[in-house]
């Protein structure tokens, strides 16, 4: 693993990097569906969600895009939005702190980086639900800037969202280390915009350079 010199700020992806749905996407979907008299198995929903997520195209992190994922998760036939009477409730439920878990390595890492005088940022493909969610999770106070795709009009891996964050930080892009779980969106995207990048892979799915299995290993990489 390389170490990184001259880093003055660390930016983080959110979903899969700082937080994850809890107990799982399928459990949350099933709970909302049950309130509407629809019985669904959480494990099957997780499976269907993974299929829908991996098959998505032109996904732009909008409400409309999410409605298509939800429809496909509940039914491979992808019914129209009008046929998903609880979509709005499901969508809103993910702005609540109770359906998310902060990974155990996050808060100690953020504290350690702040203690070293580094600026912290968020660069996330998300929507209007993220700012209130970060506040509810008591995460917002750690970050100097929060850059969200729905506010910028471009999502990762577009260089535009990275450039926007770097500009707000007031630093050269080479002084910013981006950390995320997506190889294309976070790592390739950040590097194309001139940032440094490290992937976090807690499941140890792949062995690559510039990858950590826990955020606990991050601070030591910044020299």
Three-class SS state of 141: helix
Q: Is the peptide bond before 73 cis (omega within 30 degrees of 0)?
A: no
Three-class SS state of 102: strand
- Window 16 to 75, contacts with Mg ion (CB under 5 A): 16
Q: Pattern of binders to Mg ion over 136-175, x per CB under 5 A?
A: ----------------------------------------
- From the list 15-23, 134-142, 153-161, 194-202, the region that binds Mg ion by CB under 5 A is 15-23
Among 12, 13, 119, 198, which residue sits at the site for Mg ion (rule: CB under 5 A)?
A: 13
Shortest distance, position 163 Cβ to Mg ion, whole Å: 19
Among 181, 197, 199, 200, which residue sits at the site for Mg ion (rule: CB under 5 A)?
A: 181
CA angle 111, 167, 191 (to 5 degrees): 75
**Angle between helix 42-55 and 63-74 (nearest 10):** 130
Residue 189 binds to Mg ion (criterion: CB under 5 A): no
Shortest distance, position 212 Cβ to Mg ion, whole Å: 14
Asked whether the beta carbons of 42 and 26 are under 8 A apart, the reply is yes
Asked whether the beta carbons of 105 and 214 are under 8 A apart, the reply is yes
Among 15, 42, 96, 194, which residue sits at the site for Mg ion (rule: CB under 5 A)?
A: 15
Number of amino acids touching Mg ion (CB under 5 A):
4
Shortest distance, position 75 Cβ to Mg ion, whole Å: 26
Task: Identify which of residues 155 and 196 has a Cβ nearer to Mg ion in the complex.
Answer: 155
Residue 134: name the closest of 85, 89, 82, 96 by CA.
Answer: 96
* Alpha carbon distance 44, 184 (integer Å): 27
Interface residues with Mg ion (CB under 5 A) are: 13, 15-16, 181
């Amino acid at each position: 693993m390389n170490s990184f010199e001259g880093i003055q700020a660390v930016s983080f992806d959110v979903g899969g990097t700082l937080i994850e749905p809890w107990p799982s996407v399928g459990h949350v979907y099933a709970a909302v569906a049950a309130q509407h008299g629809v019985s669904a198995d959480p494990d099957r929903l997780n499976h269907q969600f993974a299929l829908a997520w991996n098959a998505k195209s032109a996904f732009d992190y909008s409400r409309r895009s999410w409605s298509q994922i939800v429809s496909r998760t509940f039914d491979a036939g992808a019914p129209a939005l009008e046929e998903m009477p609880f979509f709005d409730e499901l969508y809103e439920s993910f702005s609540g702190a109770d359906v998310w878990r902060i990974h155990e390595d996050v808060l100690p890492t953020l504290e350690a980086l702040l203690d070293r005088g580094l600026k912290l940022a968020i660069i996330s493909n998300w929507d209007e639900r993220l700012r209130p969610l970060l506040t509810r999770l008591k995460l917002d106070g750690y970050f100097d800037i929060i850059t969200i795709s729905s506010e910028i009009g471009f999502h990762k891996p577009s260089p535009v969202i990275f450039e926007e964050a770097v500009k707000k930080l007031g630093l050269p892009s080479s002084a910013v280390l981006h950390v995320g779980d997506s190889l294309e969106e976070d790592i390739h995207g950040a590097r194309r915009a001139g940032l440094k990048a490290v992937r976090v892979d807690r499941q140890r799915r792949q062995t690559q350079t510039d990858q950590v299995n826990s955020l606990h290993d991050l601070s030591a990489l910044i020299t």
